[in-house]
């Protein structure tokens, strides 16, 4: 249950299966979250824009647009809202595509409600940790300046948004400046024990980050 005086966090569920929506709504409301639900991709995008939820649970298979397209559309106006993708598929390629589209985490159907709630708790814990970072939390990498709080990277006057995990990976790398950081270190620290990404997930984020930070991604300097 939500602590009184604290604003309840709102979670937008975008899912076309009525039983799944009902189950998620009951479980999330029981945990004290406010719940909005949409059954189409277009509806999900519109509600995400209007209501600015604190988290989006997004099904991959929707009747109109797929979850990747919805995620990309949401990222255009809200780069920061955590997006947890639901899918019946478990192939690695789908997960990578979801992360490429801007998803923060991934749960494969069938999942237990306990597992889903643990992922959401972990997402909000990371959001809190990020917002607790000081305004001056900045990292300089060559000509790039990464603002950990604003989740931006600036180079030559050009500002790009970074995803939540990208910021956390950069924070870890900067704390260990000069020391090697293993994939396991990144998995433990950035994703934590509740999530289950693979080493390839970490590699994918590092490749994406290099694209944003390196003039020549094929010959990384950082």
Binding site for Ca ion (CB under 5 A): 16, 59, 61
Pairing of strands 10-14, 158-161: unpaired
The torsion defined by the Cα of 95, 209, 76 and 59, in degrees rounded to 10, comes to 10
In the chain, the DSSP E strands lie at 10-14, 34-38, 55-59, 83-87, 105-108, 138-141, 144-147, 152-155, 158-161
Kindly give the interhelix angle for 92-100 and 67-77, rounded to the nearest 10 degrees: 20
Contact 15, 59 (CB under 8 A): yes
Closer to Ca ion at the Cβ: 15 or 166? 15
We find the least distance from the C-beta atom of residue 17 to Ca ion, in angstroms, to be: 5
Closer to Ca ion at the Cβ: 41 or 102? 41
Other CB atoms within a 10 A radius of the CB of residue 187 amount to 18
We find the least distance from the C-beta atom of residue 88 to Ca ion, in angstroms, to be: 8
Cα gap 196→145, rounded to integer Å: 30
Cα gap 141→18, rounded to integer Å: 48
Question: Cα angle vertex 202, ends 198, 207, to 5°?
Answer: 140
Closer to Ca ion at the Cβ: 42 or 194? 42
Closer to Ca ion at the Cβ: 59 or 94? 59
We find the least distance from the C-beta atom of residue 112 to Ca ion, in angstroms, to be: 18
Residue of minimal CB distance from Ca ion? Answer: 61
We find the least distance from the C-beta atom of residue 214 to Ca ion, in angstroms, to be: 38
Closer to Ca ion at the Cβ: 61 or 117? 61
We find the least distance from the C-beta atom of residue 29 to Ca ion, in angstroms, to be: 21
Closer to Ca ion at the Cβ: 59 or 104? 59
We find the least distance from the C-beta atom of residue 168 to Ca ion, in angstroms, to be: 29
Question: Cα angle vertex 156, ends 152, 162, to 5°?
Answer: 15
């Amino acid at each position: 249950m939500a602590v009184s005086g604290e604003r309840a966090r709102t979670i937008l569920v975008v899912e076309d299966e009525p039983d799944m929506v009902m189950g998620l709504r009951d479980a999330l409301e029981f945990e004290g979250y406010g719940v909005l639900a949409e059954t189409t991709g277009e509806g999900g995008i519109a509600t995400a824009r209007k209501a600015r939820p604190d988290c989006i649970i997004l099904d991959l298979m929707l009747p109109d647009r797929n979850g990747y397209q919805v995620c990309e559309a949401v990222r255009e106006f809200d780069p920061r809202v955590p997006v947890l993708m639901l899918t019946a598929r478990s192939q690695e390629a789908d997960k990578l595509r979801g992360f490429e589209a801007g998803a923060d985490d991934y749960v494969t159907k069938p999942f237990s409600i306990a597992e889903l709630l643990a992922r959401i708790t972990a997402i909000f814990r990371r959001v809190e940790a990020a917002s607790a970072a000081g305004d001056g939390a900045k990292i300089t990498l060559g000509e790039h300046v990464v603002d950990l709080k604003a989740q931006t990277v600036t180079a030559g006057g050009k500002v790009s948004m970074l995803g939540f995990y990208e910021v956390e990976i950069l924070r870890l790398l900067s704390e260990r400046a000069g020391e090697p950081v293993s994939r396991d270190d990144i998995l433990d620290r950035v994703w934590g024990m509740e999530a289950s990404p693979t080493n390839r997930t970490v590699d994918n984020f590092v490749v994406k980050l290099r694209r944003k930070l390196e003039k020549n991604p094929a010959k990384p300097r950082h």
